[in-house]
Amino acid sequence: MSQQLDFTLGALLEHVAATYPDNDALVYPERGLRYSYRAFNEICRQVAKGLLRLGVKKGDHVSIWAYNVPEWVILQFATAKIGAVLVTVNTSYKSAELHYLLDQSDTSTLFLVGSFKDTDYVATLNEVVPELAAAEPGRLASARLPHLRRVVFIGDETPPGMSNFREILSLGEAAADTELAAVEATLDRHEVINMQYTSGTTGFPKGVMLTHFNVINNGFNIGECMKFTERDRLCIPVPFFHCFGCVLGVMASVTHGTTMVPVETFDPLRVLQTIEKERCTAVHGVPTMFIAELEHPDFASFDLSSLRTGIMAGSVCPIEVMKRAVKDMNLTEITSVYGQTESSPGITQTRTEDSIELRVSTVGRALPGAEVKIVDIETGAELPPGKQGELCARGYMVMRGYYKMPEETAKVIDTDGWLHTGDLAIMDENGYCKITGRIKQMIIRGGENIYPREIEEYLYTHPGISDVQVYGVPDRKYGEQVMAAVIVKKGTTLTEDDIRNYCRGRIANYKIPKYIKFVDTYPMTASGKIQKFKLREMAIKELGLGDDGEPV
């Protein structure tokens, strides 16, 4: 039986701060910021009290739209200390996606930074909430988003209608500890404190509800599989809005007194500099990140001898990349994790002592406390080792459900508590799993899960498009790229650029189709179902791609 931690997030941090008070908790070398666990717990308490004074209550939904700034991690614990639900927003979102998330999640308070890459967050939010600029901070009344009352800016120049994060710190200083203690006394470890949006076969994103118990114990077991201790230092270049960042990164660290060393926005040079400067013992990343680090022209000049472990996950890990990470980055104990947001996210993981063959050819075996089985897609019967079927998981890590979507929840969690992942897998006699394909038509591009239906639903709003089918094609760098087969309405002329321009600024750049093909019909089954796999096969042939995305 695996060990289970029976804390809330707030109580966990109090416990770790008491156990390792002087250990580095959160380090941002470029900012000169270095919190010990004692100091980190204190600022989280201060922000929690400030949130209460601001009017945020237990159960309120608080969204954060930001890259890996220090305030992100502080809010992860501060919101949990008062039982508010932290809703994570993808940094690549544009206006349509932002409006959907804020509306569907019933967000009452939004924290945001000024911009990220090509997106001006303030301008985008003002497009979604035109009343904001003229509103009194904290008293927003939006016609389209009736729940949204407060917008808090993380940065120097506070835009009209918003409060500033610094004000929450000031409010927290003035608040009594008894106010926070009164709320903390009402919290339960099985209450929802985190919501992350993931799509599905039905197209629109669904809010995955995760509890204190889900994320603490998943993070703990992930850390155990990497043999984390209070002496480890984890470089975190993966985004916090994903479970990869906020659970496999933050929670795996905090449950072990490990030091977190985030990289604010991914840059291979910055990752290498951070590992060397802070003597990091572990680093996380999707395969494309590791490739960018390994292929950086200055790679050989960095001392990475402190490295030991970490996680390569997010999409299928190419064998050669894993081998190079072991050999050239000193990651002799690197692991791979398989999971999904609905499972907090880890289901299986390789272990540090596993052979390199197991680590490159499988996604490991069930995490402590998790059950895994492979079932026949047609009958649901459990299959013996070596047979391909759907991977199902059960245990402490399975989500509470999708927010306000009981029917969708029932489709993926059966009456016996098994989560149906939609992924095809084979398990060997020792419990090690290989992911062999997907039942769902999901595209994984550079670690980002892309659901064709979501893009299709958006493109259907184009007045010149009659029908559209979106699917993935192989790509050497990203694993997969997005392709769309479009039927144009009679009497209409469209170009590839017309379609891409229609997407720009409205859906995330990584979802915009790289390839667009105009067709008159789709390949169909006898019963009239469109055969996307045939569209994919045709595209691979026409584009001259191999199964690995290499030109042939």
Amino acid code (one letter) for 434: K
To which residue do tokens 């932002």 refer? 98
For residues 310 and 523, which has the higher predicted lDDT (pLDDT)? 310
The predicted structure's pLDDT at residue 164: 98
Torsion angles phi and psi, residue 104, rounded to 5: -65, -30
For residues 134 and 422, which has the higher predicted lDDT (pLDDT)? 134
Of the pLDDT bands very low, low, confident and very high (cuts 50, 70, 90), residue 222 is very high
The predicted structure's pLDDT at residue 529: 55
Percent of the chain clearing pLDDT 70 (strictly above): 95
Q: 328 pLDDT exceeds 60?
A: yes
Indicate the average pLDDT of the chain: 93
For residues 466 and 263, which has the higher predicted lDDT (pLDDT)? 263
The predicted structure's pLDDT at residue 547: 62
Q: Where are the beta strands (DSSP E) in 343-438?
A: 346-349, 365-366, 370-375, 389-395, 401-402, 419-427, 433-438
C-alpha to C-alpha distance for 63 and 85, rounded to whole angstroms: 8
Cα 520 from chain centre: 37
Nearest in space to 175 (alpha carbons), one of 48, 38, 17: 48
Q: 530 pLDDT exceeds 90?
A: no
The 3-state DSSP class for residue 279 equals coil
> Please, where are the H alpha helices in 311-405?
319-328, 356-361
The predicted structure's pLDDT at residue 548: 58
Q: 551 pLDDT exceeds 70?
A: no
The predicted structure's pLDDT at residue 202: 44
The predicted structure's pLDDT at residue 443: 87
Q: 200 pLDDT exceeds 60?
A: no
Nearest in space to 125 (alpha carbons), one of 106, 105, 101: 101
The 3-state DSSP class for residue 434 equals strand
Cα 158 from chain centre: 28
Nearest in space to 397 (alpha carbons), one of 188, 129, 189, 217: 217
The predicted structure's pLDDT at residue 448: 86
Residue-wise pLDDT for 331-360, tens only, equals: 999 999 999 999 999 999 999 999 988 988
Q: How far apart are the first and last CA of the chain?
A: 50
The predicted structure's pLDDT at residue 121: 98
Cα 280 from chain centre: 22
Average pLDDT (29-40) is: 97
The predicted structure's pLDDT at residue 532: 81
Of the pLDDT bands very low, low, confident and very high (cuts 50, 70, 90), residue 447 is confident
The predicted structure's pLDDT at residue 176: 93
Nearest in space to 69 (alpha carbons), one of 131, 111, 24, 132: 111
The 3-state DSSP class for residue 513 equals coil
To which residue do tokens 């305030």 refer? 71
Can the peptide bond before residue 297 be classed as cis, meaning omega within 30 degrees of 0?
A: no
Rg of the Cα atoms in the chain: 23
H or E segment at 259? strand 259-262
The predicted structure's pLDDT at residue 315: 62
Residues in Cβ contact with 493 at an 8 Å cutoff, skipping those fewer than 6 apart: 464
Of the pLDDT bands very low, low, confident and very high (cuts 50, 70, 90), residue 199 is low
Quote the DSSP letter at residue 136.
Answer: P
Residue-wise pLDDT for 252-292, tens only, equals: 999 999 999 999 999 999 999 999 999 999 999 988 889 88
Of the pLDDT bands very low, low, confident and very high (cuts 50, 70, 90), residue 460 is confident
Q: Which two tokens stand for residue 330?
A: 């000193």
The predicted structure's pLDDT at residue 550: 64
> Cα dist. 211→180, 399, 458, 487 in Å?
20, 8, 32, 44
Nearest in space to 183 (alpha carbons), one of 28, 38, 79, 314: 79
Number of residues that make up the chain: 552
Torsion of CA 266, 271, 274, 277, to 10 degrees: -160
Q: Which two tokens stand for residue 398?
A: 């399975």
Domains of the chain: 9-214 (3.40.50.12780), 336-438 (2.30.38.10), 443-543 (3.30.300.30)
Of the pLDDT bands very low, low, confident and very high (cuts 50, 70, 90), residue 440 is low
Residue-wise pLDDT for 488-526, tens only, equals: 988 999 999 999 999 999 999 999 999 999 999 888 654
> Cα dist. 158→37, 137, 161 in Å?
30, 11, 9
H or E segment at 233? strand 233-236
Quote the DSSP letter at residue 132.
Answer: G
Average pLDDT (438-447) is: 80
Residue-wise pLDDT for 360-410, tens only, equals: 889 999 999 999 999 998 789 999 999 989 999 999 999 999 999 999 999
